[in-house]
Amino acid sequence: MAWQASAVDLAPITWAEGPESITGLADLLRERTWTALTGAGASTDSGIPDYRGPTSVRATPMTFAEFTGSAAAQQRYWARSYLGWSRMGRAHPNDGHRALVDLEAFGLMGIVTQNVDGLHTRAGSRTVVDLHGEIARVVCLDCGDRTRRVDVQRRLTELNPGLEGQAPVEHAELRPDGDAVVQDWHHFVLAACALCGGRLKPDVVFFGESVPKRRVEFAYDLVDAGEVLVVLGSSLTVMSGLRFVRHLAKQGRHVVIVNRGVTRGDSLATVKIEGGCAETLVPLLDALRT
């Protein structure tokens, strides 16, 4: 684990490498309120790969325009998503998720997450903004009805009995949005909305789709409530996350980035820790307890 401090409006914090970087982070957060912004790196220890980090699958996700543009695209997506759920749906919170629950006693106001896996809520975090939605829900694009993913998954199994016994998707084939690589999707039978017969889509924000305005406002309120923003496991490649870093940096407030690899927000950070989420959060919790 390494550190890097950059000069912004605030005086940069200089920490030594290794365990002392955790001590420095604890000193920064102690007696302060803070908000966490999490990305795919927060869930890699739960077996869910990211798009751009060391465990990424190097795959381009389906865009909203592509999904809504044709029935064939929906067929292709749902065939892949059906198999991806076999692993995604079994993922469990990791030590990093659990540490964030306990960190609520040490100034953590809440979490804004770019992830759709719902693991922060399942771990027990009380205040979570699922910026990009939740893969465990499905929405009808035509009537707006929402239903549980497990119910749609059961219907898809009934409609596609030939896939029922297929082996679970391997790690390298799974994508962070629950999608998976599937070659033979042409005969996959789609499930329609049980209420109106309309088109179903996982209740997540696809690339090219806008995050609902009220959700964005809630996220800004939560970010503003903290004196420090701590980014965990996000490359900040998409603007939906980077805008919060820019927002806090413009106000001259502390931004800490914990991530393996370069991020788009590095030049705006007060402090950059090169490391994983769980390996940073667990000792941080111990440091704040002492």
Looking at the DSSP assignment, which residues form a beta bridge with residue 180?
174
Quick one: how far is CA 258 from the chain centroid?
14
Among residues 120, 132, 187, 247, which one is catalytic? Answer: 132
CA dist., res. 38 & res. 279, Å (int)? 15
Q: Virtual CA dihedral for 201, 53, 84, 189, nearest 10 degrees?
A: 50
* Half-sphere CA count of 148, side-chain side, radius 13 A: 4
Continuous H helices in 70-212: 71-88, 95-102, 119-123, 149-159
Q: Which tokens belong to 32?
A: 């302060």
Strands ordered across the beta sheet of 128-130: 2-5, 271-274, 254-259, 228-232, 34-38, 108-113, 128-130
Q: Is residue 143 a known part of a binding site?
A: yes
Residue 220: both structure tokens together? 């800004």
CA distance 68 to 76: 12
What tokens were used for 27? 């000193």
132 in active site: yes
> 140: annotated binding-site residue?
yes
Known binding-site residue numbers: 140, 143, 193, 196
Known binding-site residue numbers for Zn(2+): 140, 143, 193, 196
Active site residues: 132
